[in-house]
């Protein structure tokens, strides 16, 4: 029997997917860096409305992949769905580049981004898994590089798009800078699409079953028609806050119902793992409430109460735009990921590695330190402005917490959920994360600054009060996670007894 030789190496195939993912993340995070500022400064939204609109959009963006993954696997094919999703995303950013102050037009553009992300995101990740299927060590290595590519794209765009916005506004004397920056997000994706078309032959041996068949035009038209309906639905959700709240509540009950049904209907050998997954998913929901502050309350804090100049002993080093501070998150992720990967490997070799549940508890405590850093810094502010270095320290804690909790979320699903329901539960997990993104916006509104307040001395205590409360909430979440450890140990032991000893996933795969 002869073995079919692949015409292209796995590395070249992986590079094709990684490059389009890098450009997609470039577009998404470049937009995220500016979107709340755009609504507050350009469209005149109050803080409360801007926070909730973006948080509702983020919730939809996380929910959409649960459907897009199914479309890729069963309907159009993984590669086709990924490519169509990237094209729809580029259209969404192009619409945001149109110079208009019409809020409904913005919501429709965000709806296009929601649909595009839902079709692109799960299928790009699935392609990486298919390329290295059956080789766990290579999967770990591949996802490490893949995750780094995500952060390279987001770091570059979060630094670039605010600069472009400021440069165009200052050079041309009006507000076209916002739309120029969103246009750059679209250009990034167009470059990614062009690169993919040039390299797509390297993926000829990978994909789902529909990829191997000619395009079914009826199915394609049905998907595009449903996408249009989803865009209209997303626009309505973003336009009306009451609809957004209803959507979140219904989604929450549906996810909880799914877990309860699966636990009740599962066989004994599966039940302990599913209960453990439910406990950790609920903890992840709490984490993403903290995470959503980066693009809401922390972003507005940087706008109003942070000195944008970096100085050492009175010497000026550089100045950032407030939106650029969000780039500290991916920068820290890139710096900390290799360190954590080494620590996990070192501890594993000595049988001293701690459980995922314990890492969750540690992650919450670190997040609490990050928010206390912002809160305490208010005591040392000058004229209502805290030092820019405070943002670096706070984001460092914040990002370490993200790696310990969010970075291990998918590993948790893979470890505890039976393979036959893995894809379905992965979708439910993302829906749960989407719900918490919206709740994060609700929390951010505790620090909404009334329009009449412009003095930094008046806004500073409003923000620091929220950050201190979030620090306390982080400690409470830590205590809950610690209290759940005995239950988690019992469930994990029972899960292993029925399924054999499991090896905890490396952070590379977890971060994917």
Q: What is the tens place of the pLDDT at every residue in 340-377?
A: 777 877 877 777 767 767 888 888 999 999 999 999 99
Across 129-148, average pLDDT: 65
Average pLDDT for 409-429: 63
Among the listed residues 53, 324, 43, the one whose alpha carbon sits nearest the alpha carbon of residue 179: 43
Please give the pLDDT value at position 70: 81
Q: Which residue has the higher pLDDT, 500 or 271?
A: 271
**How much is the pLDDT for 54?**
94
pLDDT tens figures, 262-293: 777 777 767 777 777 777 778 788 888 998 99
d(CA 130, CA 125) in angstroms, rounded, equals 9
**Tokens 């470039």 belong to which residue?**
26
Query: How far, in Å, CA of 16 to CA of 10, rounded?
Result: 10
The predicted structure's pLDDT at residue 105: 95
Q: Alpha-carbon distance 245 to 67, whole Å?
A: 21
Between 321 and 403, the more confident residue is 321
CB 165 within 8 A of CB 34: yes
Helix, strand, coil tally for the chain in percent (to 5): 80, 5, 15
For residue 1, being part of any structural domain is answered with no
Tokens of 164: 């472009």
Is pLDDT above 80 for 104?
A: yes
Dist CA 113 CA 29 (whole Å)? 12
345 within domain boundaries: no
Q: Does 220 fall in a domain?
A: yes
- Rounded Cα distance, 226 and 436, in Å: 26
On whether residue 187 sits in a domain, the answer given is: yes
pLDDT score for 499: 62
pLDDT at 2 over 80: no
Query: Around Cβ 196, how many Cβ atoms within 10 Å?
Result: 20
| Whole-number pLDDT of residue 173 | 65
| Residue 83 counted as domain residue | yes
The pTM assigned to this predicted structure is 0.85
Closest residue by Cα to residue 128 from 408, 431, 508, 405: 508
Residue 311, in any domain of the structure? no
| pLDDT band, residue 508 (cuts 50/70/90) | very low
Give the 3-state secondary structure of residue 309: strand
Q: Tell me: the pLDDT tens digits for 291-313?
A: 899 999 999 999 999 999 998 88
Q: How confident is the model at residue 113 (pLDDT cuts 50, 70, 90)?
A: very high
Confidence label for 412 from pLDDT (cuts 50, 70 and 90): low
Higher pLDDT, 360 or 394: 394
CB 79, CB 62: distance < 8 Å? no
- The pLDDT of residue 509 is 35
Sign, Cα dihedral of 371, 373, 376, 381: negative
Name the average pLDDT for the chain.
83
386 DSSP β-pair partners:
306
DSSP 311: E
> Contact 320/388 with Cβ under 8 angstroms?
yes
- What pLDDT score was predicted for residue 228? 95
Q: Residue 416: is its pLDDT beyond 70?
A: no
In this prediction, residue 419 has a pLDDT band, given cuts at 50, 70 and 90, of low
Residue 404, pLDDT > 70, answer: yes
Q: Which two tokens stand for residue 431?
A: 């829906």
Comparing CA positions, the residue from 369, 391, 405, 361 lying closest to residue 298 is 391
The lowest-confidence range among 95-109, 151-165, 347-361, 448-462 is 347-361
The secondary structure of 293-334 as a DSSP string is: GGGTHHHHHHHHHB--EEEETTEEEEE--GGGGGGHHHHHHH
Q: Is 451 inside a domain boundary? A: no
Q: Are the C-beta atoms of residues 31 and 182 closer than 8 Å to each other?
A: yes
- Tell me, what's the pLDDT at 321? 92
Does an H or E element contain 317, and which?
A: strand 315-319
CATH number of 69's domain? 1.20.1250.20
User: Considering its fold, how many domains does the chain have in total?
Assistant: 1
Q: Please report which confidence band the pLDDT of residue 495 belongs to, taking 50, 70 and 90 as the band edges.
A: low
pLDDT digits (tens, 9 = 90+) for 203-253: 778 777 887 888 888 999 999 999 999 999 999 999 998 998 898 888 888
Instruction: Please compute, for residue 404, the number of CA atoms within 13 A of its CA located in the half-sphere on the CB side.
Output: 24
Range of the domain at 141: 9-239
Let me know if residue 376 belongs to a domain: no
* Per-residue CA distances from 467 to 220, 352, 363, 369, 439 (Å): 47, 34, 17, 10, 16
Give mean pLDDT, residues 191-213.
84
Structure tokens, 255: 């996810």
């Amino acid at each position: 029997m002869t073995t079919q030789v692949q015409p292209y190496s796995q590395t070249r195939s992986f590079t094709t997917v990684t490059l389009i993912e890098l450009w997609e993340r470039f577009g998404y995070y470049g937009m995220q860096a500016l979107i709340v500022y755009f609504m507050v400064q350009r469209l005149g939204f109050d803080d409360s409305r801007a926070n909730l609109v973006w948080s509702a959009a983020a919730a939809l963006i996380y929910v959409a992949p649960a459907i897009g993954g199914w479309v890729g696997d069963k309907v159009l094919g993984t590669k086709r769905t990924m490519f169509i999703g990237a094209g729809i995303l580029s259209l969404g950013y192009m619409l945001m580049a149109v110079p208009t102050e019409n809020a409904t037009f913005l919501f429709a553009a965000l709806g296009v981004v929601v649909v595009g992300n839902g079709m692109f995101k799960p299928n790009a990740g699935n392609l990486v898994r298919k390329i290295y299927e059956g080789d766990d060590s290579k999967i770990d290595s591949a996802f490490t590089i893949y995750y780094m590519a995500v952060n390279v794209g987001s770091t570059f765009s979060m630094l670039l798009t605010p600069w472009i916005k400021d440069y165009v506004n200052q050079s041309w004397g009006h507000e076209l800078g916002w739309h120029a920056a969103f246009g750059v997000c679209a250009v990034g994706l167009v470059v990614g699409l062009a690169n993919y078309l040039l390299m797509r032959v390297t993926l000829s041996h990978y994909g789902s079953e529909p990829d191997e068949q000619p395009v079914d035009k009826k199915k394609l038209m049905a998907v595009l028609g449903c996408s249009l309906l989803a865009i209209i639905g997303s626009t309505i959700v973003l336009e009306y806050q009451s609809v957004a709240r209803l959507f979140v509540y219904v989604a929450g009950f549906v996810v909880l119902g799914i877990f309860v049904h699966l636990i009740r209907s599962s066989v004994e050998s599966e039940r302990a793992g599913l209960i453990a997954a439910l406990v950790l998913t609920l903890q992840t929901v709490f984490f993403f409430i903290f995470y959503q502050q980066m693009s809401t309350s922390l972003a507005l804090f940087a706008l109003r109460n942070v000195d944008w100049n970096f100085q050492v002993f009175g010497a000026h080093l550089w100045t950032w735009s407030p939106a650029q501070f969000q780039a500290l998150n991916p920068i820290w992720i890139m710096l900390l990921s290799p360190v954590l990967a080494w620590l996990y490997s070192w501890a594993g070799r000595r049988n001293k590695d701690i459980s995922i549940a314990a890492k969750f508890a540690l992650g919450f405590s670190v997040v609490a330190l990050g928010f206390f850093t912002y809160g305490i810094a208010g005591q040392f502010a000058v004229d209502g402005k805290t030092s820019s270095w405070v943002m670096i320290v706070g984001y460092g804690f914040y990002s370490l917490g993200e790696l310990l909790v969010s970075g291990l979320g998918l590993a948790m699903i893979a470890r505890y959920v039976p393979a036959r329901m893995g894809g379905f539960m992965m979708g439910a997990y993302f829906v749960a994360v989407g719900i918490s993104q919206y709740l994060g916006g609700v929390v951010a509104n505790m620090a909404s600054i009334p329009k009449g307040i412009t003095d930094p001395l008046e806004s500073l205590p409003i923000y620091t009060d929220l950050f201190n409360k979030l620090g306390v909430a982080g400690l409470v979440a830590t205590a809950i996670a610690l209290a759940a450890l005995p239950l988690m140990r019992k469930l994990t032991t029972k899960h292993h007894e029925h399924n054999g000893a499991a090896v905890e996933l490396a952070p590379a795969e977890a971060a994917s």
